[in-house]
A = this chain, B = another copy of it.
Amino acid sequence: MTRPGAKHPTLRDVASLAGVSHQTVSRVINHRPEVTPETRAKVEVAIAQLGFRPHAIARSMAQGRTCTLACLVPNLTDFTYASNMEGAESVARAHGYYLLSSPFADRPQFDALIDELAVDRRVDGVIVISPYLDERRVALPDGIPAVLMAGCLRDDIKQIVLLDNRDGAGQAARHLLALGHRRIGQIAGPRAEDCVQERDLGFLDALADAGIQPDSSLSVEGDWSATSGYELLKLLVAREPKLTAIFAHNDRMAVGAIRAARDLGLRVPQDLSIIGFDDMPLASYFDPPLTTVRQDTFAIGRACASLLIDLLDSPAPESTIVRLAAELVVRQSTAPARGKEVAEFAKIAAQVTKPPLMVQPFHYT
């Protein structure tokens, strides 16, 4: 049979069984106060007897809301995204919403998707995860509550959740500086992503604060893959053999860089310190265990959903920025620069250390 659901009891079935009008049944299932305890009891018996469950689609039709949120995301498999979604899902469900996650590859696909979701299917709100600044840069539709998870602020978007990438990168840089490193290379992510630009700024800020001239030849652009980390480390070392430390914009590239260093005969961390970003699963099981900057991707996802649901419940505030702090995790892929007066640099580092910037503290329930 094409429609296996032709057998569900309806409100009217319950009504006639209970000997009341269907409207009364509706009041009961919606927990309205204006129903006599006796009628309520009668109706509840009938509901139980028939195994009646309200038809959510019909409800959506009548109420104009679907109790569904959508999450548009580049893919479902990257751990950071998956964990954002899991966080968002957990608060959505706790509030009675379902979360529909849809991957998209580019701007046209995004545009088509958001129309299908927001206009055709009438989801109540959308979470958009999109770091791109190039032709994939998204615009949020108006007319539907939306929050963006991004890597930095954007003028055109008012509800936004982000990681403090700039400070995170600063922490990484200051950690390396404190260990006495002066020639530090950077294996960045794709320039077209906003968090990359933020991390680059945070990195350069910290170096500048320590009195180090920026050297653009020491910054190279990878594609987040371990392979790119591998190739780029070789490139950097060829370019500047005196390099003693590397800041990679994610852990995968850091891991690739470690492999390359080893293939070059460099010991990590004795000859070369390498720090990553993300604190991905098993980061502590690589060799050596990875020093990195942790982002709480689950909390970021929760923040997105919380913010969105707040928007749904009450009239939208002008703008809400939720910024979550990154946290340095020191393991064993970084070590003091050889032959350096560590104490001297530790002093420098201490004086450039600032507390993480929290634009607005965020509490979820």
Closest to A66 in B: B57
Given contacts A54-B120, A101-B101, contact A282 B252 (CB under 8 A): yes
CA distance A58 to B79 in the complex (A): 36
* A34-42, A83-91, A183-191 - interface stretch: A83-91
Closest to A76 in B: B86
Output the least CB separation between A315 and chain B (Å).
8
The quantity of this chain's copies bound in the complex is 2
Output the least CB separation between A54 and chain B (Å).
7
Given contacts A4-B143, A255-B285, contact A61 B65 (CB under 8 A): no
Output the least CB separation between A284 and chain B (Å).
8
CA distance A100 to B93 in the complex (A): 12
Output the least CB separation between A140 and chain B (Å).
13
Instruction: Indicate whether A77 reaches chain B with its CB closer than 8 angstroms.
Output: yes
CA distance A1 to B312 in the complex (A): 9
* A282 proximity list for chain B (CB < 8 A): 226, 252, 255, 282
Contact in complex: B145, A4 (CB < 8 Å) = yes
CA distance A60 to B5 in the complex (A): 12
Chain A, 251-294, CB within 8 A of any chain B CB: 252, 255-256, 259, 282, 285-287
Contact of A89 among B4, B5, B103, B116 (CB under 8 A): B103
CA distance A85 to B4 in the complex (A): 25
* A61 proximity list for chain B (CB < 8 A): 57-58, 61
Given contacts A143-B4, A287-B287, contact A55 B86 (CB under 8 A): no
Contact of A122 among B57, B99, B144, B259 (CB under 8 A): B57
CA distance A1 to B124 in the complex (A): 12
* A82 proximity list for chain B (CB < 8 A): 76-77, 82
Contact of A75 among B1, B86, B144, B315 (CB under 8 A): B86
Contact of A120 among B2, B56, B144, B255 (CB under 8 A): B56
Q: What 8 A-B pairs have minimum CB-CB distances, sorted nearest first? A: A287-B287, A56-B120, A76-B86, A56-B121, A77-B82, A3-B64, A4-B143, A82-B82
New A-B contacts (16) at CB < 8 Å, excluding given A2-B65, A76-B82 = A1-B315, A4-B143, A5-B143, A6-B64, A53-B115, A55-B120, A57-B66, A75-B86, A76-B76, A79-B79, A82-B82, A98-B100, A98-B102, A99-B102, A100-B100, A287-B287
